[in-house]
Amino acid sequence: MKKRHQQKLLIITLVLGLGFNLPLVLLFDSATSIGGFPLIYVYIFSLWLFASLITLIIVKRYHE
C-alpha cells in the first residue's frame, strides 16, 4: 500500500477519534428518536458504518 493511502486511513482514524469523543457524542444524547432508535445510537452506528465503508473502499481500490 502506498504512503498516500496509508495517510488516508490515518485521517479516517483521526476523524473517528474526534467523532467518538465524549463531548461530541453527548451532543446527540437527547430524547429524540429516529425510527424508534435513540439519536445517540443512530449517530454512533452511522459514524461506524461510514468509516467502515470508506476504509473498505480505500483498501479494496488501492491494495497492491
Q: What is the pLDDT of residues 17-34, one digit of tens each?
A: 999 999 999 999 989 999
Share of the chain above pLDDT 70, in %: 97
SS3 call for 34: strand
Which structural domain, as residue segments, surrounds residue 57? 3-62
3-state secondary structure 32-56: CEECCEEHHHHHHHHHHHHHHHHHH
Q: What is the pTM of this model?
A: 0.82
- The cell for 22 is 465524549
Residue 4 pLDDT greater than 90, yes or no: no
Residue 10 pLDDT greater than 90, yes or no: yes
CA distance 58 to 1: 10
DSSP state at residue 33: E
**Phi, psi for 38 (deg, rounded to 5):** -60, 150
pLDDT interval class at 64 (50, 70, 90): low
Tally of domains within the chain: 1
